[in-house]
Amino acid sequence: MNSFKHSLLILLLWLTSSTVSAARFDHAIWDDLLRQHVYMVNQGKASVVDYFNFSAHRGQLSSYLSQLSQIKKSEFSNWDKSEQLAFLINAYNAFTIDMILRTQSTLPPVRYYKPRNLRDKLQLISQIKNQQKIIFIPLLGEMLSLSELEDDFIRRPGNYDEPRIHFALNRASIDYPALRNRAYSGIDLEQQLESATRTFLSDRSRNRLDEVTGKLEVSEIFDWYERDFERGWQGWPNLSQFFTQYRDSLADTAHAKELLTTDNFYIRFLEFNWILNEKLRTR
């Protein structure tokens, strides 16, 4: 009898553990908002956000953000890694939209976002960085800024070590990888991250190889986050190996693929365009 009770207790504990670890957060509200207000452009390689009409659904967004904030760290820690990371990516993207909507009334019209000179560019970058440091995110029992959410949770070494998050996070500038018009999910995360990575790398306006000179011109995000790609889940020893790994998405010809395979190229980072990823309104 004691043996039976012991076995029953073990079974109940196992079922409870399995149920908790298999728990999934419902991102349906966020998914619906994205489908309504995010538009894929350039054959799906970029996207723009209809912030004007997004603002008309602030109630839905606030409801979703409230649901995110109600998750306790103890509950979060029992999820599997893919569910955790999908939750954090969606949270980052949703709170970024919230930040833009909060500040949009104080920002200049979109046509003035494009910096006209170096001074304008530096001022714009400073403004964006300052916004990312504002503490306004109640999440997992803490009050965070966007920078803290990214650096202390999503990018923190040892947490996920997943460099492909840089193709999933929405940082509100047009030259960042596209904000998907669907929510990320734990069960589909691997496929979603891989698709986002290959889609961004196939955009020749931001990543391209000159076969004559062997110069690989890539987005400046690879310069800013180079360390993430070097310690990524594939164990790449350097950034070049990342591009070799994804040569099929970067190469348009057999010769280009050969150059990327043999590491016979050098890297140049393209100047970043900080213009807001806003869908222009038509009269």
- For the stretch 41-98, pLDDT in tens is 999 999 999 999 999 999 999 999 999 999 999 999 999 999 999 999 999 999 999 9
Q: Could you tell me if residue 278 is inside a domain?
A: no
Instruction: Give me the pLDDT at residue 218, please.
Output: 98
Q: Which domain holds residue 46?
A: 24-269
Q: Could you tell me if residue 2 is inside a domain?
A: no
Q: What Cα–Cα distance (Å) separates residue 89 from each residue in 86, 138, 160, 171?
A: 5, 15, 12, 11
Q: Distance between CA 1 and CA 67 in Å, rounded?
A: 45
Q: Could you tell me if residue 282 is inside a domain?
A: no
Q: Could you tell me if residue 178 is inside a domain?
A: yes
Q: Distance between CA 45 and CA 197 in Å, rounded?
A: 10
SS (H, E, C) 196-238: HHHHHHCCCCCCEEECCCCEEEECCHHHHCHHHHHCCCCCCCC
Q: Could you tell me if residue 127 is inside a domain?
A: yes
Report the number of distinct structural domains present in the chain. Answer: 1
Q: Which amino acid is at 163?
A: P
Alpha carbons within 13 angstroms on the beta-carbon side of residue 207 total 25
Q: Could you tell me if residue 142 is inside a domain?
A: yes
Tokens standing for residue 229: 């790609």
* pTM for this model (two decimals): 0.86
Instruction: Give me the pLDDT at residue 61, please.
Output: 97
Give percent of the chain above pLDDT 70: 80
Q: Could you tell me if residue 83 is inside a domain?
A: yes
Q: Distance between CA 58 and CA 67 in Å, rounded?
A: 14
Using only the alpha carbons of the chain, give its radius of gyration: 21
Q: Could you tell me if residue 274 is inside a domain?
A: no
